[in-house]
Amino acid sequence: MSFLLVQALSGLATAATLFLVSSGLTIVFGVTRIVNFAHGSFYMLGAYLGWSLIERFGTTPAGFWGSVAAAALGAGALGAAMEAGLLRRLYRSPELFQLLGTFGVVLVLQDVTSWIWGAEDLLGRRAPGLKGSVDILGQPFPLYDLMLIGLGPLVLGMLWLLFNRTRWGTLVRAATQDRGMTAALGVDPARLFTGVLFLGSALAGLGGALQVPREAVNLHMDMAIVVEAFVVVVVGGMGSLTGAFLASLLIGQLQAFGILIFPQITLVLVFLFMAVVLVLRPHGLMGRAEEIPPTTAASLAPPLSAGAGVGLWAALLLAGLALAPLAAGDYALIVLTEMIILALMAASLHLLIGLGGLVSFGHAAWFGLGAYGAALLVKHLGAPMPLALAAAPLVAGVGALVAGWFCVRRSGLYFAMLTLAFAQIVWSVTFQWYGFTGGDNGIVGVWPPPWAAGKAVYYWLTLALCAGALALLRRAAFAPFGYALRAGRDSALRAESVGIDVRRHQWFAFALAGSAAGLAGGLYAFSKGSVFPTLMAVPASVDALVMVLMGGLQTVSGPLAGAAAFHLLEAEVMRVTDWWRLALGLVIVALVLLFPKGIVGFLADLRRRG
C-alpha cells in the first residue's frame, strides 16, 4: 500500500516537470499555431545553464533558486530571439515548413550546446535545504520531489492569474481565440508573440533547470522531453492549459505504474495512450475543434502533369546509372547505392505529402522497420538475403497499415503528431527490447551473400529494385489511385460528395508508402551490414522531409533530386566537419526562410513579379 502511494507520488513529481514544459508548449501553440520542436531544446538549455550557475552559486538556497530563475530567464530570452528571427517569418507558411524550421533550430542548438558544455553527461549539485527525504508510511520519499509536486499546481495557478487577471494575459487569450482580431484591436502582434515565446520558453527552461538535482544533464534531453510534451499537449487538447495539466497528471501516473507492470514498454504505453485518446476524443481531453487550422498544402498544390519525354529521361538516367560501376570506385559506388535507396525513401514520403497532403513526421519508422525486419530474419532465422529483402516491405507495410488506421483519422498537425507518436513507438520498442533487437547496440553482420557481396553487384541489385519500385510509385501517382488521393487533399468535402472514400485512400497510401520505405530500409541494412535504432529516430524522419522539401513538392521526380542533393551534402559535410548537425540545421533554417511559402509558392511569386 505505502509502496503504491510512493509510486503515485513519484508519478506526480514527473507530472510536475511535464506540466512545466508542456504548458509552455501549449501556450506557444495556442497563440502562434506553431508546433515548436525547439521547445525541448530550451528545456535542455535551461538544464545546462542551470547546471553551470548552480555549480557556481548553488551552495546556498538563495543562490540555488536564483540560478534556477536565471536559467529560466535565459531560455526565455533565447525563445524570444527565435520568435523575432525565425518564427515571425513563418506564420503564413505551410505547417511542414514551421515544423522543419523549428527542427533546424533543434539541430543548431544541439551542436552549440555540445560545443559549449561538451558531450559528457553532467551531474549537478543537489538543492540546498531539500537534500533529504521524508517518511511516507514507512517509505522514504525525496523532499525535492515533494517540492516539485507542489510546484505544478502553483505554476498552473500563477498562469491562470496571469491569463485571467492581467491585460497582457487577456490579450494572449484573445489572440489564442482569434489571431485576426488582436491586430484589429490595435495590439502589436509581433510584440505579443515575442512575449509569448519568452514565457513559453522560460517555462521550458524552468523545467530543465529544476531537473539538475534529479538527473544527469545530457544532450538527449531535448528530443526526449519534447516528444513527451507533444503527447501531453495533444492528449490535453492543443492550446489548453488545464488540458495540459490533466494530461501531465495522467501520463505521470501512467509512467509511474507502467514501469511496474510493463517495464519493457513504458515508452510505448505513453504513445498508445495518446493514440487511444485521439481516436476517442479527436481534439484531446480539453481541446476545441476549431483550434486546428486547415492544412495549407492544398491551396499551394499545383497541377501535376506527366510531362513529355519523362520516360526518355528516366531511361537515359537509368542507363547512365547502370554503367556507373565501369567508371566509379568502391567509395563512389557506396555513396551512389545509398543515394538510390534514399531516393526511394523520399519518393515514398512524397506520395503522402505531395499527393495526399499528409505531412508525416515519422516516416523513418517504416524505413527502420524494413531494415530491422530484414536484419532480424537474418540474425534469428538465418534467412537468405532474397527472403529478407522480400520481407522488408511486408513487415513495414503491415506496420504502416496498423499505424495508418489511427493516423488517417486526423489531418494536418494532428496527423503529423500521430505519425511522430507511432514512429516513437516503433523506435522505443526497438530501443528497449534488448533481447530481441539488441537495443542501441543494433544488429551487426547483416551482409549480402558472396554472390552479391561485390559493391558493383549490390549496387546493380539496389538500382534494379529501387528503379522498379519507383516506377510503380510513379504509375500509382498518375493512376486513379493517385488522383483520388489528390482529390481528397484538394477538397475532402467534394471528394466525399462524389463517392470517394478519402480516409481509405489515405490509409492505403500510408501502407503503400510504408512498404516502399521498408524496401529501401531492407536494402539499406544489407548495404551497411548493420542496423541501429537511430534509423527510425525523429532526426531520420526529418532528414526524409528535408529531401522532399529540397526536391520540391510539385513534381513526382523532385524527391529523387532532393535525396541525391541531400545525401551528397551530408556525405561531404560529415567528411569535413564534426558539426554536421549545425550545418544541416542552418541549411534547413535557410530553406524555410528562403522559401517560406514552399518552393511552389516561391515560383508562383517569381512568376507574378516577372
The stretch among 68-76, 229-237, 476-484, 558-566 that binds another protein (CB under 8 A) is: 476-484
User: Residue 500 CB, nearest distance to another protein (Å)?
Assistant: 6
- Cα dihedral 149, 153, 154, 156 sign: positive
User: Residue 487 CB, nearest distance to another protein (Å)?
Assistant: 5
167 Cβ neighbours under 8 A, 6+ residues apart: none
User: Residue 448 CB, nearest distance to another protein (Å)?
Assistant: 30
User: Residue 349 CB, nearest distance to another protein (Å)?
Assistant: 18
**491/577 with CB nearer another protein:** 491
User: Residue 601 CB, nearest distance to another protein (Å)?
Assistant: 13
Q: With binding defined as CB under 8 A, does residue 468 bind another protein?
A: no
Task: Please state, in angstroms and rounded to a whole number, the distance separating the CA atoms of residues 285 and 370.
Answer: 35
Q: With binding defined as CB under 8 A, does residue 55 bind another protein?
A: no
User: Residue 479 CB, nearest distance to another protein (Å)?
Assistant: 5
Task: Please state, in angstroms and rounded to a whole number, the distance separating the CA atoms of residues 536 and 379.
Answer: 19
Q: With binding defined as CB under 8 A, does residue 447 bind another protein?
A: no
Amino acid type, 207 = G
Q: Which of 514, 510, 516, 521 is nearest to 469 (CA)?
A: 516
Binder among 137, 475, 578, 590 for another protein (CB under 8 A): 475
The distance from CA 92 to its chain's CA centroid, rounded to whole angstroms, is: 21
Q: With binding defined as CB under 8 A, does residue 168 bind another protein?
A: no
Binder among 45, 109, 421, 495 for another protein (CB under 8 A): 495
Q: Which of 315, 369, 302, 330 is nearest to 516 (CA)?
A: 369
**5/306 with CB nearer another protein:** 306
Angle at 479 between CA 476 and CA 481, to 5 degrees: 75
Q: With binding defined as CB under 8 A, does residue 476 bind another protein?
A: yes
Please list every residue from 284 through 323 that binds another protein, using CB under 8 A: 298-299, 301-304, 306
**220/475 with CB nearer another protein:** 475
Q: Which of 540, 550, 538 is nearest to 590 (CA)?
A: 550
**500/584 with CB nearer another protein:** 500
Helix boundaries (H) for 434-501: 434-437, 455-478, 480-490, 492-497
Binder among 478, 529, 572, 577 for another protein (CB under 8 A): 478
- Considering CB under 8 A, how many residues would be counted as binding another protein? 33
The answer to whether 317 and 339 are in contact (CB under 8 A) is no
User: Residue 480 CB, nearest distance to another protein (Å)?
Assistant: 4
Binder among 29, 230, 460, 508 for another protein (CB under 8 A): 508
Q: With binding defined as CB under 8 A, does residue 472 bind another protein?
A: yes
**219/304 with CB nearer another protein:** 304
Name the strand (E) or helix (H) holding 531: strand 530-531
Q: Which of 116, 102, 121 is nearest to 40 (CA)?
A: 102
User: Residue 504 CB, nearest distance to another protein (Å)?
Assistant: 9
Q: With binding defined as CB under 8 A, does residue 532 bind another protein?
A: no
249 Cβ neighbours under 8 A, 6+ residues apart: 12, 15, 19
Binder among 279, 479, 568, 574 for another protein (CB under 8 A): 479
The stretch among 179-187, 339-347, 456-464, 473-481 that binds another protein (CB under 8 A) is: 473-481
Q: With binding defined as CB under 8 A, does residue 469 bind another protein?
A: no
**3 state DSSP class of 123:** coil
Q: With binding defined as CB under 8 A, does residue 528 bind another protein?
A: no
Binder among 121, 188, 440, 501 for another protein (CB under 8 A): 501
**166/299 with CB nearer another protein:** 299
**299/577 with CB nearer another protein:** 299
CA dihedral 370, 376, 382, 384 (to 10 degrees): 10
Binder among 316, 494, 529, 577 for another protein (CB under 8 A): 494
The stretch among 57-65, 201-209, 361-369, 475-483 that binds another protein (CB under 8 A) is: 475-483
**188/501 with CB nearer another protein:** 501
Instruction: Give exposure, 271-292, as e/b (b: 16+ Cβ within 10 Å).
Output: bbbbbebbeeeebbbbbeeebb
Q: With binding defined as CB under 8 A, does residue 453 bind another protein?
A: no
Task: Please state, in angstroms and rounded to a whole number, the distance separating the CA atoms of residues 47 and 205.
Answer: 7
Q: Which of 519, 501, 510, 602 is nearest to 553 (CA)?
A: 602
- Output the 3-class SS for 37-70: CCHHHHHHHHHHHHHHHHHHHCCCHHHHHHHHHH
Locate the DSSP E strands across 86-200: 133-136, 139-142
Binder among 33, 363, 505, 597 for another protein (CB under 8 A): 505
**152/551 with CB nearer another protein:** 551
Q: With binding defined as CB under 8 A, does residue 1 bind another protein?
A: no
Give me 218's grid cell.
545530457
Task: Please state, in angstroms and rounded to a whole number, the distance separating the CA atoms of residues 14 and 85.
Answer: 33
Please list every residue from 109 through 148 that binds another protein, using CB under 8 A: none
474 Cβ neighbours under 8 A, 6+ residues apart: 556
The stretch among 58-66, 91-99, 372-380, 490-498 that binds another protein (CB under 8 A) is: 490-498
Name the strand (E) or helix (H) holding 288: none
User: Residue 516 CB, nearest distance to another protein (Å)?
Assistant: 12
Q: Which of 324, 323, 404 is nearest to 365 (CA)?
A: 404
**59/305 with CB nearer another protein:** 305
Give me 131's grid cell.
537534500
Binder among 18, 484, 546, 563 for another protein (CB under 8 A): 484
**455/489 with CB nearer another protein:** 489
User: Residue 494 CB, nearest distance to another protein (Å)?
Assistant: 4
Q: With binding defined as CB under 8 A, does residue 605 bind another protein?
A: no
Could you identify the residue written with the cell 513487415? 395
Where does this chain bind another protein (CB under 8 A)?
Answer: 298-299, 301-304, 306, 472, 475-476, 478-484, 486-487, 489-491, 493-501, 505, 508
